[in-house]
Each structure stands twice: as C-alpha cells, then as structure tokens.
Amino acid sequence: MSDERPPTSFQTTNPATEVDLRSYAVDDEATVESTLETAAAQFDSWSDRPITERESLLEGVATVLRDGKAEYAELITDEVGKPIDQARSEVEKCAWVCEYYAERAGEYLQDDRLGAVPGTKTYVTYEPLGPVLAIMPWNYPFWQVFRFAAPHLTAGNVGVLKHAPNTMGCAQAITSIFREAGYPDGVFSSLQIPDDRVANVIRDDRIAAVTLTGSTRAGRAVAAESGEALKKTVLELGGSDPFVVLDDAPIETVAERAASARTLNAGQSCISAKRIVVHDGIADEFLSAFTREMKSLTVGDPADEATDIGPLARADLLEQLDEQVQASVEAGATIVTGGEPLSRTGYFYPPTVLTGVPDGCPAAEEELFGPVATVTSVPDEETAVSVANDSQYGLGASVWTGDTDRGENLVSKIEAGNVFVNQIVQSDPRLPFGGIKQSGYGSELSDHGIREFTNPKTVWVE
C-alpha cells in the first residue's frame, strides 16, 4: 500500500534556468463539480446562438491573441523553454486558426441537401454534442488548445480543458483570452487536476466527448475509459516520422530542411522528422551536410533571439531521452555528433545524429522526444518505403526528391495520416490532420475536423 499522497498543487518551472515560476492549487472535487455543472448548463444557450454570433466572438479571440502576442509568447518560453521566435509564431498560428474558422465554420456546418424520394425533403444537419473534454500536452501549449477550441466551440460545443501540469500558466491565460473576447462563463473552462483524476471526468455524464493529444500510452487509457462510456474520441498520439531522401534530391537544401524538421521546439513534436532514410548513392554526402547543419544550430537561452534550440521542457524528459540514446549506443548505434546532456544549468540536450541503429533498440522502436535524429541508408525506393513503414507509428512522413511526380508516386505506399513531398510535415487549418496505427485516429482542422464532434443528423420530411 502506497503512502504517497495526491498532489495539492502544481509547480511550474523555467526549464532553461531551473527556477520555479509559480504554484497552482489542484482543484478539489467541489471545484470540478462546479466547472462541469456550469459547462453543461451553458451548452443549450451557447448551441442555440446563431453561428454567425459564434464566428464573430471567435474573430475577437484572434484580436486578443494578436494584441497580447508578446506577453503570451514570453509565457510559453518561460514554461516550456521554446525559443521566443517560435513562441511568437505559435501565438500567430493560434490567431490564424481562429480567423480561419470565424470565416469558414458556417460554410462547413451548413446542411447537406440529399435527394431521396420525389416529393420529400431530405438533408443532413450537423449538431453539436455538448461539453467536450480536451486533454492537452505541454509541447505546443497554446496551439494544441486553440486547434481544438476554434472549430469545436464555434460548432456549438463547450470546452473543458485539462492541460499539462507544467503549463498551468498557459491554461489560465487561454481561459482569460476567451473571457476577454466576450465568451460566456462556462463555454470554455479549465480544470487543474492530476492525471489520475481524469478518468472520473471522462465517465461523468455531462461530458459528451473527449479529445487527447499526447502519448500512445495516454491514448490507450483515454480510449478505454471513453469506450466503456460509449463516448466519441479523437486521439492525436505519438509519431516517429520518416524523412525519405531520394537520390535525385538537392542535398544541401534538403539537409538544412531536415535539421529544421528535426529540431523545431527542441525536437519535442509528434511530427518532427525523427528517422532520416536516405538513398545509398548520396548517403555519405547527405550525412556530412546534415551533420554540419545540426552542429551549426545555436543551443541556448530561449529568450535570446539568436537561439535555435532551447531546453527540453522538464528534467525527467531530459533523463528519458539520454537513457534512450545511451541504450541505443550500447546496442550498436554510432553517435556522429552530440549524444549527451550539456553540462550547464537547464535541461539542455544538443542536436544529435545517430547512425547504424540496430533493430530493437530505443532509437529504432520508440519515439525520441528531443533533438535526436537517426540516419539510415537504403539501396532503393522500395527499401526506403519498407523502412519508413517499419514503425508502430503512422502520423506524418515526408519525401524529398528533384522529381515531384516520383515523390508523389510513393505517397500511396507510405503508411501515415499525412505525407508531404518536398515540404516539412506541419498542421495547417485548411487541411485535415491526424494519424493511423499507434498515432491515433480522427481528424483535426479543416472541414473534416470541425465535424468530428457533431451529430450528422439525417432529416426526412414528407
């Protein structure tokens, strides 16, 4: 029997300085009950509002985000160590997704008129489900929340956020943004609870659906709880994206893009290019160019405009990444550059390149959530596809070539929810985003995403 007591507060810490920022009280059961009751009570009136009013309010959210961009970016940098220019870009992208759905939500949710029998009126209407629990991660603490909230609140649902404990400041700021934009209390709210209390919220009858962005392990747990209660879920989980370089690719340009794709947000992204798969004919030249690009990146203070790579977000994440690298080296992998934590204050790990990665080791089988890339050479396209697909994950993939037709011909052979040719994998409000295999299911963004938490109700009038 464990003597460990449940936490009474969450402590946020600056990962670059290891200085504590602020403590946030864990919500007691009465607070959770009040939050859920308010969310449920608001749903009817909120969903009854004309969608044009909801679109207008969302446009106001974009304005609040842009007006407060410097403040919100600094908060992101302080809590998760993201370089300040990347943090500003994250806030800008949140404003963009709000503006996008403020313009397009009504179009995407209009009734579909379908012919059936002459003299009858038949159509499909898209109705909101109710309060949706959004379990969100720390790595993109604003973007992950807004890419959920912008479409689904505008569709008429209400949102209840359960954010990561190390980003409680971001959670409170986001709640304040919706309030400042004029949203009624309870349309968007936040719970400050530990992971072991989430199952009770999922089972609560007032929660209609659940969305999670996080690890595959967390996805299985959420899917099991939600499935038991027959509640709709959308899961965006881990990834170990292949970055396939064919023998006709422009080496220097692609090497630079590969380094960027691997190290954005210190490599802490599900859609980072984690596995570089390159044709034998250019493998040596590419490895030299890629290693040079990785070494050229500046690791340092994320508040400094010159910094390319900040710290990992927490001490345990640094420890886990290093354990994965060392276990892979012990299994036979070779370190080309990097390979151990930097000896300095903060949770810093250098850009790292591994080659000769054997099957079965962590670098081959697991997601490395940090600036560590593996480089594997292959003799032909068929082997490249086989290596790309040899993963439990299926989130994103990219193919790099001087012949776009050649690249596009490989798209149907690669097992992933998103495949980009000559472009870094990214989420875009205009396009659906989601994974397959152990990377989850369901769509976010575009017209596909906004309909995920609606009831496509068939109507027949005779």
398 touches 421 (CB < 8 A): yes
Q: Is 94 a catalytic residue?
A: no
Q: Where are the beta strands (DSSP E) in 252-406?
A: 273-279, 334-337, 352-355, 372-378, 393-394, 396-400
Q: What's the CA gap between 191 and 28, in Å, rounded?
A: 10
Active site residue 98: no
User: How many C-beta atoms surround the C-beta of residue 5 within 10 A?
Assistant: 6
Q: Is 205 exposed, middle or buried (0-12, 13-18, 19+ CB in 10 A)?
A: exposed
305, 312, 428, 302: which is closest to 369 by C-alpha?
312
Instruction: Give the C-alpha separation, 164 to 174, whole Å.
Output: 13
Which amino acid appears at position 418 of this protein?
A: N
Whole-angstrom distance, CA of residue 145 vs CA of residue 370: 22
Strands 352-355 and 372-378: parallel
3-state helix, strand, coil in the chain (%, to 5): 45, 20, 35
Q: Which entry of 270, 293, 367, 444 is annotated as an active-site residue?
A: 270
How many angstroms separate the most distant Cα atoms in the chain?
77
d(CA 394, CA 417): 6
* Contacts with 310 (C-beta within 8 Å, 6 or more apart), sequence order: 15, 16, 77, 81, 82, 83, 266, 299, 300, 301, 302, 348
Count of helices and strands (H, E) across the chain: 15, 20
Q: Which of 99, 236, 293, 381 is catalytic?
A: 236
**Annotated catalytic sites, by residue?**
236, 270
